[in-house]
Amino acid sequence: MTFLAPALLFGLALASAPIIIHLLNRRRFLRVDWGPMKYLKLTLKSNRRRLRLEQWLLLAVRTLAIVMLFLAIARPMSSGANLAGFLKVQGRASRVIVIDDSLSMSFQTNGRSAFEQAKQAASSIVQAVGAQDSLTVVTSSQPSQPLVRHAQLEEADLTRLESTISELEGSDRASAWAATFDAVDRHLETAVFPLKEVIVITDLWANGWTSDLTELCDRWSEQDVTLRIVDVGDEPEANRRVLSFEQSDPVALVDTEVHFIAEIQNDGAEPLSAGQAMLTVDEEVQALTLPDLPTGETVEVPISLTFDTPGLHRVSLSIPHDGLSNDDDAHLIVDVRRLVEVTLVDGEPGLGAFESELDFLAIALTAGNAPWQMNTVLASEWATQPIGAPDVIVLGNVERLEPDRVRQLEQLVSAGTGLMIFGGEQLDIEAYNETLFKGGEGLLPVRLSEIKDADTTGLVIEPHAVSPLSPLLKLSAESLGRVRPRRFISTSVDEEPGADVRVLARWNNPASSPAVIEKRFGDGRVMFWTMTADRDWSDWPTEASFVLAMRMAADSVAARILRWENVTTGQPLRFPLDPEFAPQTAKLSVPPTGDEVSLSIERAEGTDPMLLSAATRRAGHYTALWEAAGIGEKTHPFAASPDVTDSRLERIDTAGLEPFLGRLTPQLIRFSGESIDVATAGTELWRSAVLALVSLIVVESLLAPWVGRVR
């Protein structure tokens, strides 16, 4: 037996107090000879043994009460057992060993990671498991792909398994214990032996333990499944991590500065001084100076890059490594384009210059060296033409859209194409509400009401943190005050619109009527302007601020071509293929070694074939390779960044696990890593000592009046 607070055992000396008091009380009486005493002695002689027994019993109860008090506060623990004793069961058992290989397991203490500790612990457990037992070994990131399954290992098999365990590599995925336990449960369902045991080797970081486990653990408790948790982690003290690394400009263009934002967090107890980060663009490495990182704060680091060639470029950010290095890198694929393709659908064409509905908009987007490729088409012709796949589609005073064309638009916008809609006299409000608003489920951000005469003194830009119109806030009040429409389309904006709808600008009238409303629709954006794009309803198209507003708006809604390339570890890689040139086989080059694995090709009815990988395990840049029929070898890059949710500095203990494990009580052991012998921490006995103390107090309170009664 051991004690968590052995210093308090010195209080046991107080247990002698009742004995001393008893002896002192015996000595304080004086002997006085008294004549009738001889008759009293005769009476007491017969009761002497019973009186002594009662007094000694009361003395023992009082002494034991003091002993139990100090034992309880000294927190005694039962003796632990070695690994063989810990795993000993009565009968043959089906055991599942789960090795945690999540991102947090790469945390190093004294140059040794928790994952290395876990592999050593797993080898120790495998050696201690009897050959008569059934053994399944899995990793937490791939629990459905066991290293061995329901195996009864002979010596040669044991050697091979230990070698396989030693060669395991950790992942950059986050812990997801609900999914892992579900897979383990499927292994237990096919187990042969009735005694079932799950051994989880983990660092006990808090992320991944959720209430989704409760129902399964309650069922395990009913089925007498034993859960043992081997703790190989250490208390984390500090960590610096890249929370996110994203392209902030909607479109990246050749020979144009492209902006990125990196969020870096310092979770440590000490501030970190400025450090040198590394930025890798394709194969070129350049230095990047980081700002100071205050304790517990997140710092946004702006990054600017210029690309001189179009295409898909690989970009990586790496900050100085610390104890948990796997969350210090982030990766991106950047699509750099020469041009942005815009389709202008003109609902009111004119004969002369600037008489068509969208002439001013076309000039605004193409003035100077702007990389916008305009394709203007009449609304009547566009309704019967193939819709194509431009980056932006602009509808200017288009009367109505047929349902088939609306469905095509919904598919394009959902896939990432931007859509801008301008009002006008020809616009059929009732038809728009029916086909485009659809009660809030369609492309149109708001329900349209009616065309109104305007009574406004200018345009007011809403101060959203991220808005395509935010550059207009830097203009003078006089510039925005000159934006005065003569007419506009009134709208019905819900008091609490959904998170996908927001008003970007309002008219400066008593009702603050919306002027520009934006909606996210799938991967794309829709922007509705309650004014016209020509001079019919206002003179704004002749103002310089109109050029700035139109460019910022079109740039913000322009199609994001990268739909599949940037993922977080744990997600699969997907890429659509041209059905005419779809290959039969494909491979994937995986980081960090560049080893090639097979890719599957998903061929669902009614959809294009799709390259599909298993869930990614490691962060870095991937490359898919395949032979396109009649074309030759094709490649496509991907980027996977680590799932940094797993690197939150918080550990969990047995008490913290209770809300997640329901009625299942785990047995926790601590792996020291010193040898193959793993000692358990034992069980605390203070509750038993407190229960004994309370019982003794109750007995003493009843016994004391009995002993002191008048006889």
Mean pLDDT of 346-355: 86
Residue 140 domain-assigned (yes or no): yes
Same domain, 502 and 615: no
**Per-residue confidence (pLDDT) for residue 9, from 0 to 100:** 60
Comparison of pLDDT for 297 and 89, the residue scoring more: 297
**Shared-domain flag, residues 574 and 523:** no
pLDDT digits (tens, 9 = 90+) for 423-467: 999 999 999 999 999 988 999 999 999 999 988 889 999 988 778
Q: Is residue 649 part of a domain?
A: no
In sequence order, what are the residues at sequence separation of 6 or more whose Cβ sits closer than 8 angstroms to the Cβ of residue 572? 612, 613, 614, 615, 616
d(CA 249, CA 259): 6
Q: In angstroms, how far is the first alpha carbon of the chain from the final one? A: 45
Q: 365 and 451 in one domain? A: yes
Among 337, 353, 376, the domain-final residue is 337
| Three-state DSSP class for residue 441 | coil
User: Beta-carbon neighbour count of residue 470 at 10 Å?
Assistant: 16
DSSP secondary structure, 480-498, as one string: HHT---SEEEEEE--SS--
- Give the integer Cα–Cα distance in Å for 555 and 174: 35
The last residue of one of the domains, among 540, 557, 574, is 557
Q: Is 227 a member of any domain?
A: no
Is 615 found in the same domain as 675? no
The model carries a pTM of 0.71
Same domain, 627 and 530: no
Residues 191 and 146 placed together within one structural domain of the fold? yes
The whole-number pLDDT of residue 89 equals: 54
pLDDT in tens, 612-635: 999 999 999 999 999 887 788 999
Q: Is the pLDDT of residue 184 over 50?
A: yes
Give yes or no: residues 423 and 377 share one domain.
yes
Residue 103 lies in a domain: yes
In a domain, 255, yes or no: yes
Q: Is residue 233 part of a domain?
A: no
Task: Give pLDDT tens digits for 460-511.
Answer: 999 887 788 888 888 888 889 989 999 999 998 655 566 789 999 999 998 8
pLDDT in tens, 82-99: 555 556 555 688 999 999
Q: How far is CA 630 from CA 389, 539, 601, 624, in A?
A: 25, 55, 18, 18
Do residues 298 and 329 both lie within one domain? yes
Please write the tens of the pLDDT for every residue from 259-286: 999 999 988 767 777 778 999 999 899 9
Q: Considering its fold, how many domains does the chain have in total?
A: 5
Separation between Cα atoms, residue 490 and residue 528, nearest integer Å:
12
Work out the mean pLDDT of the chain and round it to a whole number.
85
Cβ-proximal residues to 700 (8 Å cutoff; 6+ apart), any chain: 58, 61, 62, 65
Query: In CATH, what number is assigned to the domain containing residue 470?
Result: 3.40.50.880
pLDDT tens string 193-246: 889 999 999 999 999 999 999 999 999 999 999 999 999 988 887 888 999 999
What pairs with residue 240 in β-bridges? 266
Element (H, E) at 401: none
User: Per the domain annotation, does 151 fall within a domain?
Assistant: yes
30 has a pLDDT exceeding 60: no
Domain shared by 40 and 115, yes or no: no
Please report, for the domain that includes residue 586, its CATH number: 2.60.40.10
Same domain, 546 and 432: yes
Percent of the chain's residues with pLDDT above 70: 86
DSSP β-ladder status, 586-590 and 595-602: antiparallel
- Provide the domain limits for residue 416: 340-557
CA distance 233 to 236: 9
Q: Are residues 371 and 408 in the same domain?
A: yes
Among the candidates 337, 366, 401, a domain finishes at 337
Band (676; pLDDT cuts 50, 70, 90): very low
Torsion from C-alpha of 46, 52, 55, 56, nearest 10 degrees:
-150
Predicted confidence at residue 641, as pLDDT, reads 96
| Type and span of the H or E element at 524 | strand 524-529
Q: Do 68 and 135 lie in a common domain? A: no
Q: What is the pLDDT of residues 534-582, one digit of tens each?
A: 999 999 999 989 999 998 898 888 877 777 899 999 999 999 888 888 8
Give the number of C-alpha atoms closer than 13 A to the C-alpha of residue 183, restricted to the C-beta side: 18
